[in-house]
Structure 1
Amino acid sequence: MKTHVKALVVGGGAVGTSIAYHLARAGWSDVMLLERDELTSGSTWHAAGLLPYFNMSFATTHIHDYSIKFYKTLEEETGLNAGFFVVGNLRMAQTQERMDEYMLYAATAETVDVPYEWMSPAQIKERWPLVRTEDLKGAIYHPTDGYINPADVTMAMAKGARQRGVVIERKWQVDGYEWAGDHWDVTVTKMVERGGNLVPSEEKEVIQAEHVVTATGNHAQRTARLLGLKIPAIPVEHQYIVTEPDPALVEWRKTNEQHPVLRDADAKWYVREERGGWILGPYERNAPARFLYDVPEAFRADLFPLDLDRIEEEYMSMIHRIPSSETVGLKDDYNGPICYTPDGNPLLGPAPGLRNMWLAEGFSFGITAAGGAGKYLADLMVEGEAEIDMASLDPKRYGSWMTTEYAARKNEEAYEHVYILHHPDEERPACRPLRTAPAYDRQKALGAQFGCVNGWERPNYYGPLDADENFDHDARSFRRGGWWPYAVEEAKAIREGVGLIDATAFTKHVVKGPGATAFLDWFTCNKLPKVGRINLTYALTSAGTTRTEYTIVRLAEDEYYLVSAGAWTAYDADYLRKAAEDKAPEFGYIEIQDVTSQWGVYAIAGPKSRDVLNELICDAEPETALSNKRFPWLTMRNIELKMCPVRAIRVAYTGELGWELHHPIEMGRYLWDQLMQADEKHGVKPVGARAQNWLRQEKSYRAFGTELGRDATPVEADLPRFIDLSKDFHGKDEMQEIGVRSKCVTLLIDGPEDCDPWGREALYDGDVRVGRLTSGGYSVAFGKSIGMGYVRPDLAVPGQKLKVRMLDQLWDAEITEDSPYDPKNETIRKDG
Structure 2
Amino acid sequence: MKTNVKALVVGGGAVGTSIAYHLAKAGWDDVMLLERDELTSGSTWHAAGLLPLFNMSYATTHIHKYSVDFYKTLEEETGLNAGFAVVGNLRMAQTKERMDEYMLYASIAETCGVPYEWLTPDEIKTRWPLINTEDLEGAIYHNTDGYINPADVTQAMAKGARQRGVMIERKWQADAFHWNGTHWEVTCTKMIEKGGNLVPGDEQIVITAEHVVTASGNHAQTTAKKLGIKIPAIPVEHQFIVMDKDPALVEYRSNGGEEHPVVRDADAQSYVREERGGWILGVYEKNAPACFEYGVPDSFRADLFPLDLERIEEQYMAMIHRVPSCEESGLKDDFNGPICYTPDGNPLVGPAPGLRNMWLAEGFSFGITAAGGTGYYLAQLMVDGEAEIDMASLDPKRYSQNWMTTEFAARKNEECYDHVYILHHPDEERPACRPLRTVPAYERQKARGAQFGFVNGWERPNYFGPLDAPENFDHDARSFRRGGWWQHAVEEAKAIREGVGLIDASAFTKHVVKGPGATAFLDWFTCNKLPKVGRINLTYALTGNGTTRTEYTIVRNGEDNYYLVSAGAWTEYDADFLRKSAEDKAAEFGYVEIQDVTTQWGVFAIAGPKSRDVLKEVIKDADPDTALSNKRFPWLTARKIELGMCPVNAIRVAYTGELGWELHHPIEMQTYLFDLLEKAGEKHGMKLVGARAQNWLRQEKSYRAFGNELGRDATPLEADLPRFVDLEKEFHGKDKMVETGVRTKCCTLLIDGPDDADPWGREVLYTPEGERVGRLTSGGYSVAFGKSIGMGYVKPEQAVPGTKLKVKMLDQLWDAEVTVDSPYDPKNETIRKDG
Displacement of 1:258 in angstroms is: 1.5
Deviations 1:378-404 (A, max 9, x none): 000000000000000000000020000
- The answer for the alignment partner of 2:827 in structure 1 is 824
SS of 2:482 mapped into structure 1? coil
| Residues 541 and 710, structure 1, Cα contact 8 Å, conserved in 2 | yes
- Determine the C-alpha separation between the residues in 2 that align with 1:305 and 1:458: 41
Letter in 2 for 1:192: I
Letter in 1 for 2:692: R
- In the TM superposition, 1:152-301 aligns within 5 A as 152-254=152-254, 255-301=256-302
| Residues 1:354 and 2:355 are matched in the alignment | yes
| Residues 1:792 and 2:795 are matched in the alignment | yes
Deviations 1:47-100 (A, max 9, x none): 000001111110000000000000000000000000000001000000000000
**Equivalent position to 2:530, from 525, 528, 548:** 528
- The answer for the alignment partner of 2:618 in structure 1 is 616
SS of 2:665 mapped into structure 1? strand
Letter in 2 for 1:792: K
Displacement of 1:224 in angstroms is: 0.2
- The answer for the alignment partner of 1:328 in structure 2 is 329
Displacement of 1:353 in angstroms is: 0.5
- In the TM superposition, 1:350-429 aligns within 5 A as 350-400=351-401, 401-429=403-431
| Residues 716 and 743, structure 1, Cα contact 8 Å, conserved in 2 | yes
Deviations 1:515-535 (A, max 9, x none): 000000000000000000000
- Determine the C-alpha separation between the residues in 1 that align with 2:276 and 2:620: 80
- Determine the C-alpha separation between the residues in 1 that align with 2:762 and 2:457: 24
| Residues 1:776 and 2:800 are matched in the alignment | no
Letter in 1 for 2:324: P
| Residues 235 and 290, structure 1, Cα contact 8 Å, conserved in 2 | yes
- Determine the C-alpha separation between the residues in 1 that align with 2:252 and 2:691: 54
| Residues 343 and 412, structure 2, Cα contact 8 Å, conserved in 1 | yes
Gaps of 5+ in 1: none
Deviations 1:326-382 (A, max 9, x none): 111000000000000000000000001000000000000000000000000000000
| Residues 101 and 423, structure 2, Cα contact 8 Å, conserved in 1 | yes
SS of 1:744 mapped into structure 2? strand
- Determine the C-alpha separation between the residues in 2 that align with 1:824 and 1:384: 39
- The answer for the alignment partner of 1:32 in structure 2 is 32
- Determine the C-alpha separation between the residues in 2 that align with 1:392 and 1:253: 43
- Determine the C-alpha separation between the residues in 2 that align with 1:642 and 1:796: 48
| Residues 177 and 227, structure 1, Cα contact 8 Å, conserved in 2 | yes
| Residues 234 and 340, structure 1, Cα contact 8 Å, conserved in 2 | yes
Displacement of 1:471 in angstroms is: 1.7
- Determine the C-alpha separation between the residues in 1 that align with 2:155 and 2:95: 41
- In the TM superposition, 1:297-696 aligns within 5 A as 297-400=298-401, 401-465=403-467, 467-696=469-698
Letter in 2 for 1:787: G
Deviations 1:198-232 (A, max 9, x none): 00001000000000000000000000000000000
Displacement of 1:466 in angstroms is: 6.6
Change (3 A) 1:159 1:466: farther
SS of 2:82 mapped into structure 1? coil
- Determine the C-alpha separation between the residues in 2 that align with 1:649 and 1:447: 28
| Residues 476 and 484, structure 2, Cα contact 8 Å, conserved in 1 | no
Deviations 1:265-299 (A, max 9, x none): 00000000001100000000000000000100000
**Equivalent position to 2:808, from 796, 805, 809:** 805
Letter in 2 for 1:106: A
- Determine the C-alpha separation between the residues in 2 that align with 1:43 and 1:4: 29
Letter in 2 for 1:538: Y
SS of 1:85 mapped into structure 2? coil
- Determine the C-alpha separation between the residues in 1 that align with 2:542 and 2:679: 43
- The answer for the alignment partner of 1:144 in structure 2 is 144
SS of 1:407 mapped into structure 2? helix
- Determine the C-alpha separation between the residues in 1 that align with 2:81 and 2:202: 38
- Determine the C-alpha separation between the residues in 2 that align with 1:691 and 1:66: 37
Displacement of 1:256 in angstroms is: 2.0
| Residues 801 and 815, structure 1, Cα contact 8 Å, conserved in 2 | yes
- Determine the C-alpha separation between the residues in 2 that align with 1:734 and 1:481: 43
- The answer for the alignment partner of 1:15 in structure 2 is 15
- The answer for the alignment partner of 1:129 in structure 2 is 129
SS of 1:380 mapped into structure 2? helix
Displacement of 1:680 in angstroms is: 2.5
Displacement of 1:587 in angstroms is: 0.4
Letter in 2 for 1:457: E
| Residues 10 and 16, structure 1, Cα contact 8 Å, conserved in 2 | yes
SS of 1:193 mapped into structure 2? strand
Deviations 1:589-614 (A, max 9, x none): 00000000000000000000000000
Displacement of 1:469 in angstroms is: 2.0
SS of 2:65 mapped into structure 1? helix
- Determine the C-alpha separation between the residues in 1 that align with 2:800 and 2:115: 30
Displacement of 1:187 in angstroms is: 0.1
Displacement of 1:679 in angstroms is: 3.4
Letter in 1 for 2:38: E
Deviations 1:678-718 (A, max 9, x none): 23211110000000000000000000000000000000000
| Residues 464 and 471, structure 1, Cα contact 8 Å, conserved in 2 | no
- The answer for the alignment partner of 1:107 in structure 2 is 107
- Determine the C-alpha separation between the residues in 2 that align with 1:405 and 1:801: 51
Letter in 2 for 1:767: G
- Determine the C-alpha separation between the residues in 2 that align with 1:235 and 1:198: 21
Displacement of 1:468 in angstroms is: 2.1
SS of 2:674 mapped into structure 1? helix
SS of 2:50 mapped into structure 1? coil
TM-score, normalised to structure 1, is 1.00
| Residues 87 and 261, structure 2, Cα contact 8 Å, conserved in 1 | yes
SS of 1:258 mapped into structure 2? coil
| Residues 638 and 645, structure 1, Cα contact 8 Å, conserved in 2 | yes
| Residues 602 and 660, structure 1, Cα contact 8 Å, conserved in 2 | yes
Greater shift, 460-469 or 87-96, is seen at 460-469
Letter in 2 for 1:297: D
- Determine the C-alpha separation between the residues in 1 that align with 2:61 and 2:633: 47
| Residues 197 and 298, structure 1, Cα contact 8 Å, conserved in 2 | yes
- Determine the C-alpha separation between the residues in 2 that align with 1:89 and 1:467: 43
- Determine the C-alpha separation between the residues in 2 that align with 1:602 and 1:163: 59
- In the TM superposition, 1:750-769 aligns within 5 A as 750-765=752-767, 766-769=769-772
| Residues 1:704 and 2:697 are matched in the alignment | no
Letter in 1 for 2:5: V
- The answer for the alignment partner of 1:66 in structure 2 is 66
Displacement of 1:635 in angstroms is: 0.2
SS of 1:789 mapped into structure 2? strand
- Determine the C-alpha separation between the residues in 1 that align with 2:323 and 2:468: 43
SS of 2:553 mapped into structure 1? strand
| Residues 487 and 690, structure 1, Cα contact 8 Å, conserved in 2 | yes
Displacement of 1:467 in angstroms is: 4.6
| Residues 618 and 680, structure 2, Cα contact 8 Å, conserved in 1 | no
Deviations 1:155-197 (A, max 9, x none): 0000000000000000000110000111000000000000000
